[in-house]
A and B are shown apart, each in its own frame.
Chain A
């Protein structure tokens, strides 16, 4: 595949990550379809509040804007990790990954705080069809982000141990696709759920 010679590491000899990355890309495309179905369900059910609160009464736009900015910044810092990987300096890569991790963790913490606050006020997934679809859609995204965080921790460990090899480079690329993809899903979550809900 590559015009440049691979790193002379017998563990990673003849390692060709292109199929791994393409396979992962296909997985992400199927994930797109999963989220599309959840968005469709939300779009159909969002007005079925069963006498409960509408989105307008529940959502705080400054709170969601903060969440959005945190996730967006984490996507950017992951991009910087991807660029640093080309320099071959593993400490810089790991540094950006830690920053990305903590930004992602802040995002998840804010989401859990929001869900908990809604739950305490009695607005649970059992309240109405609107809230069922809301919690399903938003927490599926949150679950993906949480998985990405666990993956990021394992990757930090691997890069720390093995350095930047063809294998860890490919893993970085896959997680990068995943992380940027989750940011794209979030664009539609904040636009469709929070902003259109607040109009």
Chain B
């Protein structure tokens, strides 16, 4: 077993991580987190720009962890993992964006405008 390690994990069908890949994932995550906190702490930009920056950094870190920790990739033998993930992602986007869209317009029409506070 130890001599010829399979390229793919027996259970997940995903590629095995290596010390290097875990270390890269960890360092990238730490750097992205620190940038996020630094930007908000310093208040260097306008509010809108900070919202966008924090959002983009979070998505970047999501991508880093999916690739380096969960080993989700198109090379994976387990394409069902990726497919079910993409399906869940679509569901998540419909729920979150749909909810925000509906509620924002509700607030607008009721003259509450609370969402933009």
Using a CB–CB distance below 8 Å, which chain A residues touch chain B?
A: 1-4, 7, 17-18, 20-22, 25-26, 29-30, 32-33, 36-37, 39-41, 43-44, 47-48, 61, 64-65, 68-69, 72-73, 75-76, 79-80, 82-83, 86-88, 166, 169-170, 173, 177, 180-181, 183-184, 187-188, 190-192, 195-196, 198-199
Do the beta carbons of A79 and B11 come within 8 Å of each other?
no
Q: How far is the CA of A3 from the CA of B10 in the complex (A)?
A: 9
Q: A20-B11, A65-B33, A170-B11 are in contact. Are A177 and B70 (CB under 8 A)?
A: yes
B90 to chain A, nearest CB (A): 10
Mostly, the A contact residues are: helix
Q: A86-B2, A199-B47 are in contact. Are A169 and B115 (CB under 8 A)?
A: no
Nearest residue, chain B, Cβ from A40: B99
Do the beta carbons of B65 and A184 come within 8 Å of each other?
yes
Contacts of A3 in B (CB 8 A): 6
Nearest residue, chain B, Cβ from A22: B80
Nearest residue, chain B, Cβ from A30: B88
Q: What total of A-B pairs shows CB separation below 8 Å?
A: 150
Contacts of A68 in B (CB 8 A): 33, 37
A136 to chain B, nearest CB (A): 15
Q: How far is the CA of A17 from the CA of B9 in the complex (A)?
A: 11
Contacts of B13 in A (CB 8 A): 18
CB within 8 Å of A: which of B75-117? Answer: 78, 80-81, 84-85, 87-89, 91-92, 95-96, 99-100, 103, 114-115, 117
Nearest residue, chain B, Cβ from A184: B65
A157 to chain B, nearest CB (A): 21
Q: How far is the CA of A43 from the CA of B78 in the complex (A)?
A: 34
Q: How far is the CA of A65 from the CA of B30 in the complex (A)?
A: 10
Do the beta carbons of B58 and A188 come within 8 Å of each other?
yes
A21 to chain B, nearest CB (A): 4
Do the beta carbons of B10 and A18 come within 8 Å of each other?
yes
Do the beta carbons of B61 and A173 come within 8 Å of each other?
no
Q: Per a CB cutoff under 8 Å, which of B17, B23, B62, B114 touches A187? A: B62
